[in-house]
Amino acid sequence: MKIQKLIGFFLLLLLPLVNLPVLAAEEELPHPEVLRITPQELKGLIDSGTPPVIVDTRDGLSYSVGHVPGAINIYYDPAGDPMNREMMLVALPMDKLVVLYCP
């Protein structure tokens, strides 16, 4: 299935671009198998000359208020039609690093 192949390319998940409280040592992040980077690391990737594809998973209003320059908006709505979301994800380039960020 194409979506499973595409998920393999989602190597990084950017934590929100706002200051978050530090999680207590005993708390675990959801999906620990997903690699995470800091905003500073993302900036380094962008400045490297071969920027990744950056996907903002917030709703359209939040995206329009402000987003990482060059980011595309693919809203993740767990109650939405998964076929629409899959169509957008399959359209992402398979030969580039893809970075997702969400609230």
pLDDT digits (tens, 9 = 90+) for 43-62: 999 999 888 999 999 999 99
Q: Taking 70 as the threshold, does the pLDDT of residue 79 lie above it?
A: yes
φ/ψ region of 70 (left if φ > 0, alpha if ψ in -120 to 50, else beta) reads left
* Per-domain residue ranges of the chain: 2-17+32-101
What is the tally of helices (H) and strands (E) in the chain? 4, 5
Q: Is the pLDDT of residue 5 over 90?
A: no
Q: Quick: pLDDT tens for 15-25.
A: 343 334 444 44
* Contact between 39 and 99 (Cβ < 8 Å): no
Report how far apart, in Å, the C-alpha atoms of 10 and of each of 19, 23, 36 are.
23, 24, 11
Which of the two residues, 82 and 44, has the higher pLDDT score? 44
Is CATH 3.40.250 correct for 2-17+32-101? Answer: yes
